[in-house]
Amino acid sequence: MRSELRVLFGRPRTWAMLLALAAIPILIAVAVRLSSEPPGPGEGPPFLDRVTQNGLFVGMTALVVSIPLFLPLTVGVVAGDTIAGEASLGTLRYLLVAPAGRVRLLVVKYVAAAVFCLAATLTVVVVGALVGLALFGAGPATLLSGDTVGVGESAVRALLVAVYVTVSLLGLSAVGLFVSTLTEVPVGAMAATVVLSVVAQVLGQLDQLAWLHPWLFSRHWLGFADLLRQPVSWDSFGDNALLQAGYVAVFGALAYGRFVTKDVLS
């Protein structure tokens, strides 16, 4: 496991993606800072109007901006690469002969992808918070319920949101893992995973497919607003966690079924 993380984070590509994610809150903060008028309520992405009150909200705004594409993109790259990447390098055969054990390898790969999800969301939130604090300071923040909370409390809320978004991405990671066992071409697996995440979101927009909506892994992606109320409403967190767990179970099982019987010919 430690060695898996070392490979993941020893890789320039991983850092490039995290850097790109870090750039999003920086851009937002700088843009808000440079504009002469503070954004009015309801303008631009959610939470943007709160940014000037409390710098921590830069991270939150950046998350909202990244959820539809940037986060799924990076997660798709990591999850799609899990097995297919090893296969295309040829290292898969050496890991299996070592022997790593196919099930163990699959589990380790998935956990590493999950760790990346956490690293990615934390990058956005933490970099956002730091930049926000530097540019706007840390005033008391008004929650969506109208209550005002102090800096410590809002930092906790920011971390909660990061956890929520991480959980949101677990289902997509499982899908990516499964796709990755189907091919030896990592780019294909990455692209397929990212495309699936976009398709899920598009389907979620179509009212004609309302029956399908509860089953889409992207269903609760933007539902973390409940964590910004007083008292915290855990309903959407629970629903989201359950849905993602379902995806992990189903696609984990599919990946298992595919990978344990697969001929490794690369």
Partner 1 sequence: MTGGSSPAEPAIRTRGLTKRFGQQAAVDGIDLSVPSGAVFGFLGPNGSGKTTTIRVLLGLAAATSGETSVLGQPMPRALADVLPRVGALVEGPAFYPFLSGTANLQRLDAADRRASPASRHQRVAAALERVGLGHAATKRVRAYSLGMKQRLGIAGALLSPRDLLVLDEPTNGLDPQGTREVRELVRSLAADGATVFVSSHLLAEVEQMCTHVGVMSAGRLVAQGTLDELRGGGEAHVRVRTPDVGTARSALAGLGLVLVQATGAAPSDRAADDAGEGSRDGVVEAVLDGAAPPPERIVEALVAAGTRVRGFAVERATLEDRFMALTGEGFDVVG
Binding site for partner 1 (CB under 8 A): 2-3, 6-7, 10-12, 89-91, 93-101, 104-105, 261, 263-265
Gap between the Cα atoms of 84 and 89, Å rounded: 9
Q: Which is closer to partner 1, CB of 101 or CB of 137?
A: 101
Q: Which is closer to partner 1, CB of 9 or CB of 241?
A: 9
Closest approach of partner 1 to the CB of residue 1, in Å: 9
Closest approach of partner 1 to the CB of residue 111, in Å: 15
Q: DSSP letters along the chain, please?
A: -HHHHHHHHTSHHHHHHHHHHHHHHHHHHHHHHHSSSPPPTT-SSTTGGGTTTBTHHHHHHHHHHHTTTHHHHHHHHHHHHHHHHHHHHTHHHHHHHTT--HHHHHHHHHHHHHHHHHHHHHHHHHHHHHHHHHHH-B--EE-TTS-EE-HHHHHHHHHHHHHHHHHHHHHHHHHHHHHHHT-S-HHHHHHHHHHHHHHHHHHHH-GGGTTTGGG-TTTTTTGGGGGGSSSPP-HHHHHHHHHHHHHHHHHHHHHHHHHHT-----
Closest approach of partner 1 to the CB of residue 118, in Å: 22
Closest approach of partner 1 to the CB of residue 175, in Å: 25
Gap between the Cα atoms of 127 and 62, Å rounded: 10
Q: Of the candidates 116, 112, 79, which has an alpha carbon nearest to the alpha carbon of residue 197?
A: 79
Closest approach of partner 1 to the CB of residue 46, in Å: 38
Closest approach of partner 1 to the CB of residue 3, in Å: 4
Q: Which is closer to partner 1, CB of 14 or CB of 218?
A: 14
Q: Which is closer to partner 1, CB of 6 or CB of 27?
A: 6
Q: Which is closer to partner 1, CB of 95 or CB of 177?
A: 95
Q: Which is closer to partner 1, CB of 34 or CB of 265?
A: 265
Closest approach of partner 1 to the CB of residue 183, in Å: 17
Gap between the Cα atoms of 252 and 254, Å rounded: 5
Q: Which is closer to partner 1, CB of 37 or CB of 263?
A: 263
